[in-house]
Amino acid sequence: AYVVTDLCCGCRYTECVTVCPVECFHVDETMTYIDPDNCIDCGGCVPVCPVGAIQASYLLAPDKVSWIEINRARSAETPTIISKLPPLPTAEERRKALSA
């Protein structure tokens, strides 16, 4: 499955949810999560994320591996999202900092 990492936290652009063919994104007040039981590994969400927050689980750096379980747990606790939301107020600032 693919995994949303901490880079989404505080940004939550939600471009990802508009391209997912199987509606496997969930959302809370800080970021999105992928339900690993629904993800079909199409990879479509990876290039549309403005901050590069989504990665295939097998490509995660060691310090990001914990996000596999976080995505599984949080997607079970949060609602599905299928339509784009406005980015969080901190998104632009965070995106610029990440690309600097």
Interface residues toward ligand SF4, by CB under 6 A: 2, 19-20, 22, 24, 34, 39-45
Contact 28, 78 (CB under 8 A): yes
Q: Which is nearer to ligand SF4, 76 or 97 (CB)?
A: 76
Indicate the residue among 24 and 27 with the shorter CB distance to ligand SF4: 24
Distance separating alpha carbons of residues 21 and 39, to the nearest angstrom: 9
**Smallest gap, in angstroms, from Cβ of residue 46 to ligand SF4?**
7
Half-sphere exposure of 80 (CA within 13 A, CB side): 10
Give min distance, CB of 77 to ligand SF4, in A.
17
Are 44 and 5 a contacting pair, CB within 8 Å? Answer: no
Provide the minimum distance between the beta carbon of 85 and ligand SF4 in the complex, in angstroms, as a whole number: 16
